[in-house]
């Protein structure tokens, strides 16, 4: 059984002010296997974040079925950990309390919460910062808290919506390496939304290339280059060339259509 | 090698600048008071109508400590008068805070309360609290109650408006994050929306405490026979402008102190916010 099954997903946004409907996702079918690291790659406005929000349960598909672990998705829940584009931490809580927030909601006692959260503080390399508030930490550190918070729930899947887009190039590289290390260590299923071809190729073992509005799946590319990946190797560049060709083909088609 | 900052922080010139910086905020008040004193002593106006700052201070001193009965029946009764006003402020403010936060959060959070409760409250809001005085007197008589009622009216709406605003402007993504971590409806309110709205609620409380003092004094002028406002109005009838001014100073001072107290509570509660505010960075 696949970790996530998307069947004929269609999403139409109704633009009430202009009195017309906008087809955002057009018949998406996708199976994501357990322990896959899937990158949803596409230009902005292609509906990749909408697709992620549908899996998260934040938005409802206009039609189609979304199954996570064989169960229909109806609302957000702790079986799907979400890492947002902005860290979206509770600003009044310290790093450790943000990470353990799920346990607090479940009524776990404070010492037990902190004890269990420390494992994740260590995992994302934030020891020494556990009692800092989000306003006292950098964007990268806050995003680490966001990742740790999602991991602590031990979800079946982790959904990440361009989590490194707001970080500087250096921090982004570090975070990508750490994310791969965490994924290898903990064996989890990750769906990662990005608009960067390089980021998708560094992270994913399956890259789903989406087309511009309406969002469709152009091709799902399996990419099993061993890790750590050398971004200058011929294999990496072959895959990059292939994906760039898919994207270019798409823009040419659009240019001719208009 | 000595850097530029070393010179400027250690040299005598710097110490002089530091000393001056401490004093610079006193320059304008000192000039104003000196000018006022000189003008009052010049005899251009009868001293009864414009008492000099020294006379006001004298009246205030006697009102507080009762050393020479300049203030006649009020001599030495300042604490009693101030306490009477402060209790009314506290009573009305506490009631307004409790009900204002409760109603504000309910209206901000639930469509049902927004539709049923808000129009009525918004219709009552533009009515000046002072215009309730005639009704307050027939309902509650001449005592503490009409004053507390007026304070409540003046303090309630700022708390209400800011609570509604605070809840309505909670970051949508925080609510999503809460849902993702499995928060139920009640937890969403108590663990996410309420803490996120606190900065705005506190802003409302600070405005409210100011209104509370204004309305206590107003109520005491007409509907009560004690407190700082009563002393102020009573002294006006006897043309004791020194006591009028002493009462004004007392009210300003107590209002300022209540705000300081509230600010201290706010700083403790919103400690997480301090590093992000301009004030926190400067200090």
Q: Which residue has the tokens 């800092």?
A: A132
Residues 6+ apart with CB under 8 A from A131: A94, A95, A96
In which band, very low, low, confident or very high, does the pLDDT at B12 lie, cut at 50, 70 and 90? low
- Name the H helices within chain A: 48-56, 95-99, 101-105, 110-123, 139-152, 169-186, 197-203, 234-257
DSSP A79: T
Give the gap in angstroms from C-alpha B200 to the nearest C-alpha of chain A: 14
Model pLDDT for residues B179-198, shown as the tens digit of each residue: 999 999 999 999 999 999 99
Tokens for B122, please give them.
Answer: 């918004």
| Chain A positions in Cβ-Cβ contact with residue B178 (cut-off 8 Å) | 105
Tell me the CA distances in angstroms from A157 to A77, B100, B233, one per residue in order: 11, 43, 71
Question: Per-residue confidence of chain A (258 residues) as pLDDT tens digits?
Answer: 788 999 999 999 888 888 888 888 888 899 999 999 999 998 887 889 999 999 999 999 999 999 999 899 999 999 999 999 999 999 999 999 999 999 999 999 999 999 999 999 988 889 999 999 999 999 889 999 999 999 999 898 999 999 998 888 888 888 899 899 999 988 889 999 999 999 999 999 999 999 887 888 988 889 988 888 888 899 999 999 999 998 888 777 777 776
Task: Give the residue with greater pLDDT, B23 vs B231.
Answer: B231
Contact assignment for A81 to B192 by CB distance below 8 Å: no
Pairing state between β A206-210 and A37-41: parallel
* Chain B residues in contact with chain A using a Cβ-Cβ cutoff of 8 Å: 171, 173-174, 176-184, 187, 191-192, 195-196, 198, 270, 272-273, 275-276
Contact assignment for B180 to A76 by CB distance below 8 Å: yes
Q: Please say whether the beta carbons of A13 and A21 come within 8 A.
A: yes
Contacts of A53-60 with C-beta under 8 Å, sequence gap 24+, read A53/A161, A54/A9, A54/A11, A54/A25, A55/A4, A55/A6, A55/A80, A55/A157, A55/A159, A55/A191, A56/A80, A56/A82, A56/A159, A56/B180, A57/B179, A58/B176, A58/B179, A59/A11
Q: Taking residues B264-271, report their average pLDDT.
A: 90
Give the gap in angstroms from C-alpha A44 to the nearest C-alpha of chain B: 20
pLDDT at B16 over 90: no
d(CA B87, CA B91): 6
pLDDT at B280 over 70: no
Q: Taking residues B232-258, report their average pLDDT.
A: 92
Contact assignment for B174 to A90 by CB distance below 8 Å: yes
| Phi, then psi, of A228 in degrees rounded to 5 | -70, 140
Q: Please say whether the beta carbons of A77 and A57 come within 8 A.
A: yes
**B218, B237, B254, B243: which is closest to B90 by C-alpha?**
B254
Q: Taking residues B83-92, report their average pLDDT.
A: 94
Percentage above 70 pLDDT, chain B: 90
Q: Can you tell me the ipTM of this complex?
A: 0.89
| Chain B positions in Cβ-Cβ contact with residue A133 (cut-off 8 Å) | 272, 275
Q: Taking residues B21-48, report their average pLDDT.
A: 86
pLDDT at B1 over 90: no
């Amino acid at each position: 059984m696949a970790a996530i099954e998307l069947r004929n997903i269609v999403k139409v946004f109704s633009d009430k002010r202009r009195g017309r409907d906008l087809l955002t996702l057009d018949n998406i079918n996708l199976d994501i296997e357990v322990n896959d690291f899937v990158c949803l790659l596409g230009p902005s406005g292609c509906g990749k974040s909408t697709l992620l929000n549908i899996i998260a349960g934040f938005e409802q598909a206009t039609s189609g079925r979304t199954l996570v672990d064989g169960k229909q998705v109806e609302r957000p829940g702790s079986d799907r950990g979400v890492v947002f584009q902005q860290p979206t931490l509770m600003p009044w809580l310290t790093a450790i309390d943000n990470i353990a927030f799920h346990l607090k909601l479940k009524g776990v006692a404070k010492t037990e919460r902190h004890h269990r959260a420390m494992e994740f503080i260590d995992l994302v390399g934030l020891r020494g910062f556990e009692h800092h508030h989000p306003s006292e930490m950098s964007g990268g550190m806050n995003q680490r808290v966001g990742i740790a918070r999602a991991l602590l729930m031990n979800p079946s899947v982790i959904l990440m919506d361009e989590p490194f887009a707001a970080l500087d190039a250096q921090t982004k590289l570090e975070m990508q390496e750490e994310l791969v290390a965490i994924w290898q260590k903990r064996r989890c299923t990750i769906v990662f939304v990005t608009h960067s071809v390089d980021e998708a190729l560094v992270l994913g073992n399956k890259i789903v290339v989406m087309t511009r509005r309406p969002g469709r799946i152009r091709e799902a590319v399996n990419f099993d280059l061993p890790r750590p990946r050398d971004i200058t190797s011929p294999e990496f560049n072959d895959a990059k060339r292939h994906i760039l060709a898919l994207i270019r083909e798409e823009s040419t088609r659009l240019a001719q259509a208009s | 090698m000595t850097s530029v900052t070393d010179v400027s922080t250690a040299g005598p010139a710097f110490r002089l600048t530091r000393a001056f910086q401490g004093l610079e905020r006193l320059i304008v008040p000192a000039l104003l008071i000196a000018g006022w004193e000189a003008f009052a002593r010049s005899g251009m106006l009868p001293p009864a109508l414009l008492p000099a700052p020294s006379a006001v201070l004298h009246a205030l001193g006697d009102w507080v400590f009762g050393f020479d009965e300049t203030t006649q029946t009020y001599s030495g009764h300042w604490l009693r008068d101030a306490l009477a006003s402060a209790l009314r402020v506290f009573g009305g403010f506490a009631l307004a805070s409790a009900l204002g936060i409760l109603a504000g959060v309910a209206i901000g959070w639930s469509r049902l309360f927004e539709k049923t409760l808000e129009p009525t409250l918004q219709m009552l809001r533009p009515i000046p609290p002072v215009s309730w005085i005639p009704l307050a007197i027939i309902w509650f008589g001449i005592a503490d109650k009409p004053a507390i009622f007026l304070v409540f009216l003046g303090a309630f709406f700022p708390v209400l408006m800011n609570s509604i605003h605070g809840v309505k402007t909670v970051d949508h993504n925080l609510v999503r994050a809460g849902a993702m971590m499995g928060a139920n409806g009640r937890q969403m309110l108590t663990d996410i929306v309420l803490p996120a709205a606190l900065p705005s609620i506190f802003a409302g409380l600070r405005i409210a405490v100011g209104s509370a003092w204004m309305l206590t004094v107003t109520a005491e002028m007409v509907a009560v026979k004690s407190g700082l406002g009563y002393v102020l109005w009573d002294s006006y009838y006897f043309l004791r402008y020194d006591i009028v001014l002493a009462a004004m100073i007392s009210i300003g001072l107590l209002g300022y102190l209540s705000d300081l107290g509230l600010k201290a509570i706010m700083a403790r509660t919103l400690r997480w916010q301090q590093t992000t505010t301009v004030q926190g960075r400067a200090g």
